[in-house]
Amino acid sequence: MGYYNQTPNGRQPKPSRSGSFFAGIFGVLVGALLMWLLFSQAPGLLPGTVSTDSGTQIQQQNREQQGASLDITTDVTKAVDEASDAVVGVSNLQTGGDFFSQSQEQAVGTGSGVIYKSEGDTAYIVTNHHVVDGASGIEVTLSDGTKVEAQVVGSDIWTDLAVLEMSNDKVQDVVELGDSDALKRGEAVIAIGNPLGLEFSGSVTSGVVSGTDRAVPVDLDGDGTEDWQAEVLQTDAAINPGNSGGALVNLAGQLIGINSMKIATSQVEGIGFSIPINSALPVINQLEATGEMVRPAMGITLIDLAQVPNAYREDTLNLTEDITAGVVVSSVVPSSAADEAGMRQYDVIVEMDGQAIEDIIELRKHLYNEKQIGDMLQVKAYRNGELLEFELELTDNSTL
Closest CA to 190 of 143, 232, 127, 243: 243
Using the Cα atoms of residue 125, residue 130, residue 136 and residue 137 in order, give the sign of their dihedral: negative
Which residue among 85, 156, 160, 347 is the active-site one? 160
| Separation between Cα atoms, residue 343 and residue 368, nearest integer Å | 20
Specify which residues 247 forms β-bridges with: 192, 258
Give Cα 184 distance to the centre of its chain.
15
| Separation between Cα atoms, residue 334 and residue 146, nearest integer Å | 52
Q: Catalytic site residue 244? A: yes
Side-chain half-sphere exposure of 382, counting CA atoms within 13 A: 21
Q: What is the chain's alpha carbon radius of gyration, rounded to the nearest angstrom?
A: 41
The strand ranges marked E within 97-197 are 104-119, 122-127, 137-141, 147-156, 161-167, 176-177, 188-193
Which residue among 130, 156, 260, 336 is the active-site one? 130
| Separation between Cα atoms, residue 236 and residue 269, nearest integer Å | 8
| Separation between Cα atoms, residue 317 and residue 279, nearest integer Å | 31
Q: Residue 106 burial by CB count (10 A; 0-12/13-18/19+): exposed, middle or buried? A: middle
Rounded to 10 deg, the angle between the 360-370 and 277-290 helix axes is: 40
Residue 250: CB atoms within 10 A of its CB come to 22
Which residue among 112, 143, 201, 244 is the active-site one? 244
Backbone dihedral angles phi then psi of residue 283, each to the nearest 5 degrees: -70, -45
Q: Catalytic site residue 130? A: yes
Q: Catalytic site residue 16? A: no
Per DSSP, the three-state class of 318 is coil
Side-chain half-sphere exposure of 158, counting CA atoms within 13 A: 14
Provide the annotated active-site residues. 130, 160, 244
